[in-house]
Structure 1
């Protein structure tokens, strides 16, 4: 085989390989979306019994909707979040007949959907968890031309965490993260799950996620270093009241205790809580409510210098 033919063949094999990997990824994403869509439709049917299970995909051209119902449309994919997972925009559009309450009923259903989906953990039939976050209504109320029903589109971001194995990092685990997780588990008890860095696939609730968001070091005199790490804490629970109470409780305990013992050290060393605060209005799953700065002072590593063996001294030059 000539060199040109060989390169062409190798290039063809590479293209086939890349195309195969792309098709495999697309197939996996497609299957994931099918499972998520089915779970979401089942959840919507439970939230609004008046629809009698009529939660539909986007109707075909010319198809006329009948009776009160909802339509689920999967919109654009957006860049993946480093800690929240794959993101997809979905639009949920409830439809109501004028004689069944019109705008007033539409308002009631919309409120029920937001309350039942926003920051709520859902799980598909295979145990994969995902979360929907309400982004607002994407357009004004309108009358559907075919059915004469009133509708509006509610826009949600859907977040699907990846498997924990996808984020496995070789090397020594962060001792600060381990200490913070151990402290949190001790403070909240065994019924809480405590995660680090990313939301794992199939994450449980109630749970806390700690993410490292900043790091700095500075000299403290000639022989010491001060290291600081900034963390974001996400507290996710079933109810808003439990979530707010837990956020407040963690912040108060960190402010009072001020020191966290480092795990797995022969001589116990501590991290100092330098600053901690909470934003109770922040999105729990995506942005996190707690901001924490931990600090530790350590000795500078010694510098090897040659020892002075002899000193010669002269009073002056003759």
Structure 2
């Protein structure tokens, strides 16, 4: 019981520390995105405190279940405030557009080298006038995704298909790209590819063969939208032109074949991935090498 309680306290403290680091990093980013705030990016004001001048308020909202590959997720609300004489709702609209462009699907890095990604989730309410200050404001919701801070190991170490796909990708893109398997690691790099295995099926082919199919999703993440589009397109084209990928951990040369590949350039890079890939391989069914007739018995006839 004592161990369990201690573990809970440690987890709470760890989550609070992560939240503080994220908060400070986002504040610095907001100050850079909107110089007109003159660094006035603050937490929720205390009771009775009145906001003065153009500024932004950041608040942490609900925590939602993390996905298996994206890691810890937290909802934050960012509220820009503008004076009516400075444009009011029109100014809030302009600042909101700047925040969406500057934060949506953007990888941020804290002072300790940890990385996280912001995803714009929409506005949580309509424009309103703050009763105490008279400033016009609107709340914008962002999801903040932080990968698990665990030591990254190649997911393909026990999966020859994953290892082959990662190796093929590295050959296509070069060493400037980081290639990951199954989950985003802590401290993932700005130019990254993540391959995730999402499904597997087998089909009997004739009497002696099995066809194995595996479905993959590819995530292409980069700071520049043009780099993302070019890289996604290049990978899809090369998978179509070179439809065989060699398996590297087997005796002799064996291959997996590209059965189907497609890309959605509008898909979210961090969460959903842009590339859909199906690989297949045909193998001999176990036991099919056994002769159909193993023994023949005969008698000499009736005496």
The normalised TM-score by structure 2 is 0.95
Counterpart pick for 1:225 among 178, 186, 210: 210
Distance 1:168 1:194, change over 3 A: closer
How many angstroms apart in 2 are the aligned matches of 1:309 and 1:102?
93
| Structure 2 partner of 1:175 | 160
- SS of the residue corresponding to residue 158 of structure 2 reads coil
Aligned pairs for 1:56-67 (under 5 A) are: 56-67=42-53
Q: Which residue of 1 is the match for residue 277 of structure 2?
A: 292
Residue 17 of structure 1 is matched in structure 2 by 3
Structure 1, 223-232 or 303-312: larger mean CA deviation: 303-312
1:265 Cα deviation (Å)? 2.2
| Cα deviation, residue 308, structure 1 | 4.4
Match of 1:275 in 2: 260
Structure 1 counterpart of 2:195: 210
Matching of residues 190-209 of structure 1 within 5 Å: 190-209=175-194
1:45-78 Cα shifts (integer Å, max 9, x gaps): 0000000000000111221100100000000000
**Cα distance change, pair 261–22 in 1 and its aligned pair in 2 (3 A):** same
For residues 127-176 of structure 1, what are the alpha-carbon distances to aligned partners after superposition, in whole Å with 9 as ceiling and x for unaligned? Answer: 1111000001111000111110110001000000012438888x961110
CA RMSD of aligned residues (A): 2.0
- Cα distance in 1 for partners of 2:145, 2:178 equals 19
Residue equivalent to 1:8: none
Per the alignment, residue 131 of structure 1 pairs with 117
Residue-by-residue CA offset, 1:249-272 (whole Å, 9 max, x unaligned): 111111111111112222111110
Could you tell me which residue of structure 2 aligns to residue 244 of structure 1? 229
- Mapped to 1, the partners of 2:268 and 2:106 lie a distance apart of 11
Q: How has the CA–CA distance of structure 1 residues 88 and 51 changed in structure 2, closer, same or farther, with 3 Å as cutoff?
A: same
Cα distance in structure 2, aligned partners of 1:172 and 1:246:
25
CA drift of 1:227 comes to 0.3
For residues 260-313 of structure 1, the C-alpha deviation after alignment (integer angstroms, 9 at most, x for no partner) is: 111222211111000000111110000001000000001112266898455215
Gaps of 5+ in 1: 1-14
1:43–1:172 distance in 2 versus 1, CA, 3 Å: closer
Pick aligned residue for 1:301 from 281, 286, 292: 286
Larger displacement relative to structure 2 (305-314 or 44-53) = 305-314
* 2:152/2:185 contact within 8 Å kept: no
Matched, 1:155 2:141: yes
Structure 1 pair 130–50 and aligned structure 2 pair: CA distance change class (3 A)? same
Q: Quote the Cα distance in structure 2 between the aligned partners of 1:310 and 1:229.
A: 43
- Residue 106 (structure 1) aligns with: 92
CA distance 1:216–1:302, shift in 2 (3 Å): same
Is 1:234 equivalent to 2:204 in the alignment? Answer: no
Return the alpha-carbon distance in structure 2 between the equivalents of residues 182 and 73 of structure 1: 42
Query: Partners in 2 of 1:210 and 1:89 — Cα distance?
Result: 26
Paired residues in the alignment total 302
- Does the C-alpha gap of structure 1 residues 16 and 225 become closer, same or farther in structure 2, counting only changes over 3 Å? same
State which structure, 1 or 2, has the greater radius of gyration over its C-alpha atoms: 1
* 2:151 counterpart SS class: helix
